[in-house]
Chains A and B, each alone.
Chain A
Amino acid sequence: MRRTSRRPDAPPRAALARLLAVPALLTGLAAAVAVAAEASHEVEGRRSGWLYNSPETQALQDDEFINPGMFAVERGRTLWSTPEGSAGKSCASCHEEGSMRGVAARYPVYDEKRGGLVDLTTRVNLMRTELMGAPALGYEAADMLAMTAYLGRESLGMPMQVAVDGPARPFFEEGRAFYFARRGQLNLSCAQCHDDLAGRKLRGDTISQGQINGFPIYRLLWRAMGSRHRMFEWCNTSLRAEPYPAGSREYLSLELYVAWRGRGLPIETPAVRR
């Protein structure tokens, strides 16, 4: 498989002192890689899920030759320039190489034409149905996850930065309300776990801050890639709460709030999670 070594500019490094304070979990070269990565997984107290992973899972993510999510990225790279649909076009027919850099970091966005939020998945489907004459793909379709993984990878290292003002504001407020509302038979809100209990043990699992800078992720539990909305669905059903459909207004608004909550965290797609 082709693996380009093209990596975006390294994110700003934290003070050397902080790097040295990191307990050495690994030795040798692996430690150097892990420590360099550590510098970019926390921004003003906002912490990537990477920091809550075991050293083994971290190493799996950091090495792009063994990261299982890289298969999806490579597949997406191929699809990018493969014509599909009745118009006989590929993404590359209209978009220049490198033009997608930074896009994933500012999604979801408010879309004038649709009068609502559009996430990366919906954007890809709009391209397919309106400009390519190709059918829409499901949220978790392998080729959709491949494309969103590729687009995410194009923003590797760039800080998540979503717009929440103007017409996006009502959606943002809805997402925030969702995040703080208790739900399900277990009667818990997202905030109770991911704000208040991050770092604590929920049985075998260490609870993270529930950040979305690594999506789509390769989740070992799923043995598959999964979208942000699939993760929301998983957390909802774990609480025995009725989930919303992927792509629903509720999950798009939640996604906007959660992306803002993690503002500044560098994109690390495809993240590997437990």
Chain B
Amino acid sequence: MRRGRAAVAGLALAALAAGGGAGAAELAPLTAQPGDPARGRDVVRDLTKATCLICHALPIPEEPNPGNIGPNLAGVGARFSAGELRARVVDATTINPNTVMPPYFRTEGLNRVLARWRGQTIYSAQEVEDVVAYLGTLRQP
């Protein structure tokens, strides 16, 4: 069971590494366990995890003061497939090399990461899945 999950994650990462550019616009699930949208809603608000709210508005009434650097994510679940959303959360530079959106599931090719965070991703694989599941529920523009 464990091994299988790791293999799926490994495959997805290999696709990302090999694909780059447009080829990586869709990404297979990183874990065998489906994402939990309720958990994802908590994860995107987590201040210790480079919260999406720094840059994006989200339809979360308790968060009235988001940044306005990226587009409003309301309705994003209707605009993108789960695979496309996953690719953006994992590493948005594969879609736009100049993006300011941080890579939430990448450790390679980063410059001078603080010792405390070196070799670690911002999100765990399961957190990526939870966030993707949550984004999928945002269907109202």
Indicate if B3 sits at the interface (CB-CB under 8 A). Answer: no
A240 touches B117 (CB 8 A): yes
Residue numbers in A under 8 Å from B93 (CB-CB)? 187
A203 touches B112 (CB 8 A): no
Nearest A residue to B110, CB-CB: A187
Residue numbers in B under 8 Å from A202 (CB-CB)? 54-55, 67, 69
Give A179-198 interface residues, CB cut-off 8 Å to B.
Answer: 181-188, 192-193, 196-197
Indicate if B113 sits at the interface (CB-CB under 8 A). Answer: yes
Give B78-123 interface residues, CB cut-off 8 Å to A.
Answer: 93, 100, 102-103, 110-117, 120, 122
Indicate if B132 sits at the interface (CB-CB under 8 A). Answer: no
Indicate if A241 sits at the interface (CB-CB under 8 A). Answer: yes
Answer whether A192 and B100 are a contact pair too, CB < 8 Å, given A203-B53, A241-B113. yes
Residue numbers in B under 8 Å from A182 (CB-CB)? 110-111
C-alpha spacing A242/B102, complex, angstroms: 16
A184 touches B68 (CB 8 A): no
Nearest A residue to B106, CB-CB: A187
B67 touches A237 (CB 8 A): no
Give B10-68 interface residues, CB cut-off 8 Å to A.
Answer: 50-51, 53-55, 65-68
A197 touches B112 (CB 8 A): no
Nearest CB on B from A175, distance (A): 16
Indicate if A13 sits at the interface (CB-CB under 8 A). Answer: no
Q: How large is the interface on B (under 10, 10 to 19, 20 to 34, 35 or more residues)?
A: 20 to 34
C-alpha spacing A81/B64, complex, angstroms: 52
Indicate if A45 sits at the interface (CB-CB under 8 A). Answer: no
B69 touches A237 (CB 8 A): no
Nearest CB on B from A184, distance (A): 6
Partner of A185, one of B55, B67, B69, B110: B110
A242 touches B113 (CB 8 A): yes
Residue numbers in A under 8 Å from B54 (CB-CB)? 202-203
A242 touches B100 (CB 8 A): no
B112 touches A186 (CB 8 A): no
C-alpha spacing A193/B55, complex, angstroms: 12
Indicate if A200 sits at the interface (CB-CB under 8 A). Answer: yes
Residue numbers in B under 8 Å from A184 (CB-CB)? 110-114
B100 touches A197 (CB 8 A): yes
Indicate if A2 sits at the interface (CB-CB under 8 A). Answer: no
Indicate if A23 sits at the interface (CB-CB under 8 A). Answer: no
Nearest B residue to A181, CB-CB: B111
Residues of A near any B CB (own CB < 8 A): 181-188, 192-193, 196-197, 200-204, 237, 240-242
What are 12 A-B pairs at a CB distance below 8 A? A181-B111, A182-B111, A184-B111, A184-B113, A187-B93, A187-B111, A192-B100, A200-B67, A202-B69, A203-B65, A241-B111, A242-B113
A184-B112, A240-B113, A241-B113 known, 7 other contacts, Cβ within 8 Å = A185-B114, A185-B117, A185-B120, A187-B111, A197-B69, A200-B69, A203-B66
